[in-house]
Amino acid sequence: MSNKAVSYAGPGKVEVIDIDYPTFELKDGPGVNPANVGRKVNHGAILKVVSTNICGSDQHMVRGRTTAPEGLVLGHEITGEVVETGSDVEFVKKGDIVSVPFNIACGRCRNCKEGKTGICLNVNPDRPGSAYGYVDMGGWVGGQAEYVLVPYADWNLLVFPDRDQALEKILDLTMLSDIFPTGFHGAYTAGTKVGSTVYVAGAGPVGLAAATSAQLLGAAVVIVGDLNEERLAQARAFGCETVDVSKGDPKDQIEQILGVPEVDCAVDAVGFEARGHGAGAAKEAPATVLNSLMEITAAGGALGIPGLYVTGDPGAVDDAAKHGTLSISLGTGWAKSLSFTTGQCPVMRYHRGLMQAILHDKVSISKNVNATPIPLDQAPQGYDEFDKGAAKKYVLDPHGMVGARS
């Protein structure tokens, strides 16, 4: 059976290629750790991909800002229909419509049992934690494809309770694989609660998901900062205040909004490709957002940091940043008793609750992030437009199941 997929073809390029149809064994290929080659996956399921989204984390690789090898099949945001299950799968059934957490987790190790599914100890020989189609994550094939293998299916997959309802709300539910839980994780770990004032750095899809989540958690005011006016307009469209960081330090604009130059909670949805503020907005300065958030967060507050930081960045502005070493004012954080939460969002901690919020019409995440479905063969165009700052969340539709409902 044919299986088309989106692959990284070198800095600035992606291609739609033909790859093997999945089997219940991990085979060699670009980015696959040798220790994973031949790994049996009888606990897995093969999915017909209903929707798979282009993520800002994918863009870091496509820009050549990681050590991703050419030929790597991309895609960690996956929603699909189960078409085959391995011999060890008991509960997930053929025909189920499911959300796939971008974290690959075994459900058996100490971390998984403690709910730390973003740092599973058994799926990636390189380090704790794994994801589909991502650099240094063990080599599990990405889901920007027609079909994909998901290991530990009974543990990983979130089965939607009603097929027709799921397909009707697919543009919202597709966000459960990553950006909605990731944004929620950022807002939640920043301490957002009823009445909080919240600043979200970054108006890309994760930032908009964090802003949506802060509203869902009861924030009194949500402020979103970015350089991109189109993306800031998207944030304003669902009730956020906005800050254009190209016009100066965020704290001055925050003071104009709140009357004080600080917020209770802050979220970094930018990551390691951050740029300066004010006159320096065009220049890359990877520690800018973290240092800014420490300055504007009230003493005793917290920073949620879902924005990606890496240990290998060939395109970094200096030698230290190439290894993930940034000039962070930790003294500021210490003096203000600030708390920090970093790392992969443990999607399984949140996705069922957020599914319920979607199914019961408590939130419209697809509208807030401007979800835009496109065919799989238009992925290169989608990557290009997203890289240029389009205020859209591109949803790839390999089998036309999304477009038929949109």
* pLDDT tens-place string over residues 219-235: 999 999 999 999 999 99
pLDDT at 344: 93
One-character DSSP codes across 223-261: EEEES-HHHHHHHHTTT-EEEEGGGS-HHHHHHHHHSSS
Rounded to whole angstroms, how far apart are CA atoms 97 and 83? 10
Query: Domains along the chain?
Result: 4-178+346-396 (3.90.180.10), 179-341 (3.40.50.720)
Q: Reduce the DSSP state of residue 81 to 3 states and report it.
A: strand
Nearest to 396 by CA among 11, 128, 77, 106: 77
* pLDDT tens-place string over residues 281-320: 667 777 889 999 999 999 999 999 999 888 777 877 788 7
Query: Residue 406's pLDDT band (boundaries 50, 70, 90)?
Result: low
Is the pLDDT at 89 greater than 60? The verdict is yes
- Whether the pTM exceeds 0.85: the reply is yes
Nearest to 227 by CA among 282, 145, 188: 282
Arithmetic mean of pLDDT over the chain: 94
pLDDT at 325: 82
pLDDT at 283: 78
Lowest mean per-residue pLDDT among 127-131, 218-222, 248-252, 266-270: 248-252
* pLDDT tens-place string over residues 185-225: 999 999 999 999 999 999 999 999 999 999 999 999 999 99
pLDDT at 405: 59
